[in-house]
Structure 1
């Protein structure tokens, strides 16, 4: 008896492996004279776990039902497209009904069990199934998606921000030419105080030379002014014993006194010796 059951199982296994069996059990395990189903064929539900005939352990889902699990006792009822939904694909034994939404609407979840207003670019859906404009600092460049924050820097290191973003677009970047950077930083071993000291010494030297030049120019100007303003003193006549000279002097005085009503006289000489010298 056991041998006969084993031969039946072997025959059915070979038949299942060679032919495409769409009903019944797809994979089973031998347990004595019976077999126990491990996996049903796609679109079949489990009728009982074990039995002598594996083709009777599973049964196809009824019309209007489906299953996606390999070992379930019941199938799931197919969904119905209602309201704003439109039918895209009918239900099968292995797939549920596929519904869509009318124009201007979009599915509210992954199963598209309900429809909501479709949010355009620059807007985002809200919890109450409406749309709102992207807040400042965010943007949305896709239909019916959440708004994203603007980038804080350009993705390319050789670009700079040219303009801020808006509700529809991210920031705009502009490429810049790359030039080699020449470092003017002094070596770490150099003393940074020496350049300062050299600069101060140079400044003091220039200042000293400038002051000396100004003092020389001022002295030259002062000397030039003194030469222009000075006058020659009247010449001093040396004393003389020449009688003619004395008479000429006396007569010059006499002429001046005549104009004032006085007389010229040789006697105006101060001493007798002078008179004798004149007579002689």
Structure 2
């Protein structure tokens, strides 16, 4: 378990991260989302010790994080940090040795990761000879090479084609199955919704939502979909109802309480056929849009 408690970071008069707290549970993927400038990268850099904080702390299993802890983490910055003119496999082996791997173990693990990213035959090529998407794959391999105990990934899916995304997803699921906590930022909300057990949302440096998908959905507005004959326009006149959308026979509404829902259903049955009356389960991407407005 990795915990962020009351982290704060200022740049001059600007507070980039303002008293932010959340948890990254072991064996789960946590999506870190927010608009550009919301404070995600700054928070990740403080977790990794790249930036010092002006308040708060990072905990590992309930105790303050140490440099030794961070040396076991896998970190992928948004800006690529590899050597463009060095052969790919050589630099991965070098990075593995910095993480106290033997050269042979680092070479074996690097080759396995390159194979999984369909780059197995490019190990002797210089990084700069690869496309930007393939350079991103190598950057990901570097963060996974030493079998990290925690993964902190800043926009790992940026620039990846669908095949590479699938390979990345498979790798991350392998790591979480081993109990590794994963925090990754992304603007690709469909991927966040598809992959994440938890969501953390920042807006202008402040935490506006965090928790498991089920917890966040339970806090979301209780919306229902109603489909009736002959027309659903009458729901606008019902008490205790907030109409989100009406289009012919279909309506999306919010109810003040369960009594209002039952009244509307009873009214619909007296007016004609009811084809659908169901609770809408919001996606994590919809929850993000709701809380980040």
TM-score interval for Structure 1 and Structure 2 normalised by the shorter chain: under 0.3
* Larger helix proportion of the pair: 2
**Which of these two proteins has the greater Rg computed from alpha carbons?**
1
Q: Which has the higher contact order (CA 8 A, sep 6+)?
A: 2
Q: TM-score, normalised by structure 1?
A: 0.19
